[in-house]
Structure 1
């Protein structure tokens, strides 16, 4: 019978420079000699003490790694803590990741609110009015990169909630109040409104008029607003559940969502597509298409209207759909579907060409209620998404030369940037942003950095965004990024040379407890 042994000598025998029998759980040499066996686990190492028998290594401090570079904007040191859980391949819950990502946002912060809204038609108390005013003047404007007449968070969702007293409108109104309360730091009040929103939404499904499209649209908007609440509150892991509710409404009354009878429908469709795409990024199991194949992945047509940057997306509709194509490609590869190498590579090359050649256009439609609009910020954010999409494609399926057994796929007249080049492009764009408002591209770029100085910069960007925007999702994603970095550093024989394979982050999260949202 083969007796299992350790893969290396125990630390006691290594230090004594003697042979080791590698017995488990303790070395028998140490046991016979009644010495403490220090085992075989991972051990941190510091420079050796000089013993006079060998040439001493010289260690020289790098000025760029000064301790001051590891201090955050909030006066704390940045550390990447690697523990037993990382060594043992532990999976983490979303709440674990939030705790690793950063300090809990202070709930005592108060913010100024605008005096009021002109279109209130409900009998609201003073507190509800203040919360709606905060949503209108702050929250609804920060959820889009273009705060003009297309900002449906203010100009379409608010009237849906305020111009009716039925239970679907009540649910949407309570979800808005919950979001505003949470952003103002009133957590208990936010939870009260969230519970009321869910209760009203549940009641609405029992009394929904079968042909009332407005009623169904308001239900749909309430589900999506509860998704947004889950993004803001790091302790709320029900984002996917609320999105599934929106999907059920779409499948039950697609005509209501797709019709043009109501002016808010295009906004709702884009809002839904945004959440759905990044749900695909994190939930590969949601693809239920019978016998999916690579030929089912449809690349968008590339019409001009889809290249217009949409404020709530942060990028163009075409780019969002290309990201969805990469999601589907990754899922098929993970499922081991039998596509030929040439077909797979051909699809990857087509997506690559579209990403390289995509030119996203900034179009603004200001009105008297528009906020500050920066064309530069809009463009940089959209480009940041494009850079991240190219990194995502490389992580999913690096386009390399085909093997001799396959026919050559379409070639690109433009060279595809390398990962380090794309990371540098991402940092160049981040340097021109006051605050990063888009967690998904920041996450993709962060997973591809290897140098300490870049990691420290990423941590500072996440910390600043979390404090300024007060969205708990940043802490969850930062915790996940730290876990990815720890696993990269633990990869043997690869080191930190920029060539270590990035682990699939989905394997690091306990899916049963909820998956992170990247919206």
Structure 2
């Protein structure tokens, strides 16, 4: 595909050059910028010519990855939204491609999963439209790239949507008794569904045992994320707790301890880091793993995750010293101009 579409070829070259730069090989730093600019100009030329099809989508995906790996500037979300829009267009237009349905599935998984996971770091309603999987997607199969099933990703997305909706509402007024009851009911329903949603490895998957272990760690992370997002709406001594935070923390730490350090564990480490800033052991585990990830790949998403987690720890330490901190559901997590990718 890249051989027949110059913008895609340029995008791939820019990503490769930038990866070398991130690993302290600056020989191709200029090439990274030059080829990225050529790819962007090529996309604009394709739009002007009305030639928007599958290679165009692939180019947008590569530019999205470039911005994530480079530093997680908000521009990657712009590329993602554009990619989803163009993907919908080419699907409706029935443009043919030699790679078959597997390419479509890959594009949908990449864009939808990155949107879902990117929203888990934001406390209020994003306003982004809800995305759908393909009709013939298997919701139970573990995706090797994302390390969990589409079914689990959908439940994570529902958690973010519920928490974001009520967090936005609570910024302007106190929640009513009926609204708190709705949160409580949703919390119970989602915790049950997250625990029971099937996650199975494909018969063609390499090292399926490890893939299943990763998927189970993400199931535990989804439960911990659910607790972290919905518990702040209730008093600390609330009796109703469909998820028990200490048990989830212990389970997740146990699961992570036997898994190798790979980028697919970024979200579990990020959620663990934010959920237990009071534990020195957990701090050490999270930061040691993030530092190791950064040493191996130096991805922008890893660097930003480490920065945000360290900020969380500093905020916790300041609170112990009596410095008042805002409640988590009342302020957005992040850095101005950045949007972390946790996929």
User: TM-score category by the smaller chain?
Assistant: 0.7 to 0.9
What is residue 343 of structure 1 aligned with on the other side?
Answer: 182
Runs of 4+ that moved beyond 6 A: 257-261, 297-300, 399-402
How far apart, CA to CA, are the structure 1 residues paired with 2:339 and 2:187?
A: 27
The CA deviation at 1:323 is 0.7
The CA deviation at 1:277 is 0.9
Change (3 A) 1:282 1:508: closer
The superposition leaves residues 205-256 of structure 1 with CA deviations (integer Å, 9 ceiling, x where unpaired) of 11124xxxxx422212211211111121127552112112213324545514
TM-score w.r.t. the length of structure 2 is: 0.81
The superposition leaves residues 382-417 of structure 1 with CA deviations (integer Å, 9 ceiling, x where unpaired) of 112111111111011139999xxxxxxxx9xxx855
The superposition leaves residues 300-325 of structure 1 with CA deviations (integer Å, 9 ceiling, x where unpaired) of 9xx99311101122100000111110
What is residue 50 of structure 1 aligned with on the other side?
Answer: none
How far apart, CA to CA, are the structure 1 residues paired with 2:131 and 2:93?
A: 25
TM-score w.r.t. the length of structure 1 is: 0.55
What is residue 173 of structure 2 aligned with on the other side?
Answer: none
Whether 1:463 and 2:291 are equivalent positions in the alignment is yes
My pick for the range that moved more, 462-471 or 231-240, is 231-240
Pick the aligned partner of 1:232 from 61, 69, 77. 69
What is residue 255 of structure 1 aligned with on the other side?
Answer: 92
Pick the aligned partner of 2:116 from 257, 277, 302. 277
Change (3 A) 1:230 1:358: same
What is residue 187 of structure 1 aligned with on the other side?
Answer: 29
Change (3 A) 1:506 1:260: farther
Aligned-pair Cα RMSD in Å:
3.5
- The 8 Å contact of residues 309 and 360 in structure 1, kept in 2 or not, is answered as yes
- The 8 Å contact of residues 125 and 168 in structure 2, kept in 1 or not, is answered as no
- The 8 Å contact of residues 105 and 137 in structure 2, kept in 1 or not, is answered as no
Change (3 A) 1:417 1:260: farther
The superposition leaves residues 258-291 of structure 1 with CA deviations (integer Å, 9 ceiling, x where unpaired) of 99994311221111211221233345454267xx
The superposition leaves residues 148-186 of structure 1 with CA deviations (integer Å, 9 ceiling, x where unpaired) of xxxxxxxxxxxx223x2xxxx222222211222222334
The count of residues paired between Structure 1 and Structure 2 equals 319
What is residue 390 of structure 1 aligned with on the other side?
Answer: 223
Matches within 5 A, 1:417-432: 417-432=243-258
The CA deviation at 1:435 is 1.1
Change (3 A) 1:336 1:257: farther
The CA deviation at 1:346 is 1.7
- The 8 Å contact of residues 282 and 516 in structure 1, kept in 2 or not, is answered as yes
Matches within 5 A, 1:294-313: 305-313=138-146
What is residue 268 of structure 1 aligned with on the other side?
Answer: 107
What is residue 503 of structure 1 aligned with on the other side?
Answer: 328
How far apart, CA to CA, are the structure 2 residues paired with 1:384 and 1:257?
A: 38
Change (3 A) 1:345 1:259: farther
The CA deviation at 1:481 is 0.4
How far apart, CA to CA, are the structure 2 residues paired with 1:419 and 1:502?
A: 18
- The 8 Å contact of residues 118 and 340 in structure 2, kept in 1 or not, is answered as no
How far apart, CA to CA, are the structure 2 residues paired with 1:483 and 1:457?
A: 16
How far apart, CA to CA, are the structure 1 residues paired with 2:137 and 2:69?
A: 33
The CA deviation at 1:365 is 1.9
Change (3 A) 1:400 1:241: closer
- The 8 Å contact of residues 250 and 257 in structure 1, kept in 2 or not, is answered as no
- The 8 Å contact of residues 301 and 342 in structure 2, kept in 1 or not, is answered as yes
Q: Which has more helix, going by share of residues?
A: 2
Whether 1:515 and 2:343 are equivalent positions in the alignment is no
Whether 1:325 and 2:158 are equivalent positions in the alignment is yes
Change (3 A) 1:267 1:273: same
The superposition leaves residues 24-71 of structure 1 with CA deviations (integer Å, 9 ceiling, x where unpaired) of xxxxxxxxxxxxxxxxxxxxxxxxxxxxxxxxxxxxxxxxxxxxxxxx
How far apart, CA to CA, are the structure 2 residues paired with 1:202 and 1:327?
A: 34
The superposition leaves residues 91-145 of structure 1 with CA deviations (integer Å, 9 ceiling, x where unpaired) of xxxxxxxxxxxxxxxxxxxxxxxxxxxxxxxxxxxxxxxxxxxxxxxxxxxxxxx
- The 8 Å contact of residues 113 and 146 in structure 2, kept in 1 or not, is answered as yes
How far apart, CA to CA, are the structure 2 residues paired with 1:472 and 1:288?
A: 23
Residue segments in structure 2 that go unaligned for 5+ positions in a row: 22-27, 171-175
- The 8 Å contact of residues 308 and 362 in structure 1, kept in 2 or not, is answered as yes
- The 8 Å contact of residues 73 and 338 in structure 2, kept in 1 or not, is answered as no
My pick for the range that moved more, 466-475 or 252-261, is 252-261
Residue segments in structure 1 that go unaligned for 5+ positions in a row: 1-159, 210-214, 290-296, 367-372, 403-410
- The 8 Å contact of residues 121 and 334 in structure 2, kept in 1 or not, is answered as no
What is residue 7 of structure 1 aligned with on the other side?
Answer: none
Structure 2 counterpart SS, 1:323: helix
- The 8 Å contact of residues 348 and 399 in structure 1, kept in 2 or not, is answered as no
Larger radius of gyration: 1
What is residue 454 of structure 1 aligned with on the other side?
Answer: 282
